[in-house]
Amino acid sequence: MKILLLGKGGQVGWELQRSLASLGQLVALDWDSTDFCGDFSQPEALAEAVRRIAPQVIVNAAAHTAVDRAESEPDRAHLINATAPGVLAREAQALGAWLVHYSTDYVFDGSGSRPWREGDEPAPLNVYGRTKLDGERAIASGCDRHLIFRTSWVYAARGSNFAKTMLRLAGEREQLQVIDDQIGAPTGADLLADVTALAFCKPEGNWRVRDIQPVASSAFPAAARRPHNSRLDTAKLQEAFGLSLPPWQHGVDRMLAEIL
Ligand SMILES: NC(=O)c1ccc[n+]([C@@H]2O[C@H](COP(=O)([O-])OP(=O)(O)OC[C@H]3O[C@@H](n4cnc5c(N)ncnc54)[C@H](OP(=O)(O)O)[C@@H]3O)[C@@H](O)[C@H]2O)c1
């Protein structure tokens, strides 16, 4: 089986390089790859690369994930998060290939308190969420054989994420202000990558007690509005693929043990 991985250098892409490696012949690209175009800002060159590689499975971990920056560059966010995935869907359909893609809880408005389900009505609050929703729709309508995994609050030892920002600030400050009105489940990039591989196998040192102050989101004004409730219901995923997902705390403990 030939697998094309796009966005290989991101948090999830990096872990996918590991989890997909034993499943077949893996061609992994990033936006600056030279052998083939992996740049989502050039959708037709990307399409040409897909045609030349002719994979049986395309896994797309590339995205415009800078949520606040997307507010000031909506066209670029749309190009990368919606137009290019739509082109991938077209090429996957022509090849009869599977297209695996990742989306986000940001397609929802974050209201209420129960975890969001697949069939709930999307209502994104910001440009990033809207472009990711457009990407989902382009894939769902353009490619019969697709899997879209919505995830939230992704962390990894590699890359930029909330957990690493907090660890850095904890090393610099005596007092931390942490937003306490957004609810979600931290999701390890390694778990996402393992679930992806499983899914298509079966279609103290520096520790000090700190003063942590819970604050409202409004204490950290940002360009993009964010959902309050980012929880996603994983029941359908677990049932469809016969998985038993661990409590989110397990992955966070592992990541902290690795990084500290
Ligand atoms: N991170 C989260 O909390 C979160 C939450 C929900 C859903 N998701 C979704 O999960 C997926 C993986 O996210 P992640 O956390 O792994 O994000 P990430 O670490 O930001 O990785 C995204 C990758 O896409 C690359 N990229 C950016 N512009 C590109 C372009 N024009 N062409 C090709 N590649 C480009 C980035 O390269 P550079 O780093 O060099 O720009 C990076 O390697 C995405 O679909 C994202 O929307 C993430």
For 172-231, what is each residue's pLDDT tens digit?
A: 999 999 999 999 999 999 999 999 999 877 654 444 557 767 788 888 889 999 999 999
> CB-based burial of residue 32 (10 Å sphere; 0-12 exposed, 13-18 middle, 19+ buried)?
exposed
Structure token digits, residue 116 = 């969001």
Helix (H, G, I), strand (E, B) or coil at 193: helix
pLDDT score of 107? 98
Span from the CA of 218 to the centroid of ligand 1 (angstroms): 26
Separation of alpha carbons 162 and 153, rounded Å: 8
For residues 108-131, give the mean pLDDT: 97
Span from the CA of 153 to the centroid of ligand 1 (angstroms): 12
Compare 199 and 20 and report the one with higher pLDDT: 20
Nearest 5°: the CA angle 46, 158, 11 is 35
pTM, two decimal places: 0.91
| Domains identified in the chain and CATH numbers | 2-259 (3.40.50.720)
Confidence category of residue 257, pLDDT binned at 50, 70, 90: confident
Confidence category of residue 160, pLDDT binned at 50, 70, 90: confident
Closest to 80 (Cα-Cα) out of 123, 134, 125, 27: 134
pLDDT score of 260? 75
Span from the CA of 208 to the centroid of ligand 1 (angstroms): 33
> CB-based burial of residue 205 (10 Å sphere; 0-12 exposed, 13-18 middle, 19+ buried)?
exposed
Number of residues assigned to the chain = 260
- Tell me if residue 155 is catalytic: no
pLDDT score of 209? 52
Check if 12 has its Cβ closer than 6 Å to any atom of ligand 1.
yes
Check if 39 has its Cβ closer than 6 Å to any atom of ligand 1.
yes
Average pLDDT, rounded, for the chain: 93
Span from the CA of 22 to the centroid of ligand 1 (angstroms): 23
Compare 206 and 154 and report the one with higher pLDDT: 154
Confidence category of residue 17, pLDDT binned at 50, 70, 90: very high
Contacts of 84 (CB under 8 A, 6+ apart): 40, 41, 43, 46, 62
Mutate-to-test residue for ligand 1 from 154, 191, 195, 234, highest number of ligand atoms within 8 A of CB: 154
Is 90 within 8 Å of 43 (Cβ atoms)?
no
Closest-lying ligand 1 atom to the alpha carbon of residue 40? 32
Return the residue whose CA atom lies nearest to atom 45 of ligand 1: 102
Separation of alpha carbons 1 and 23, rounded Å: 7
Closest-lying ligand 1 atom to the alpha carbon of residue 12? 16
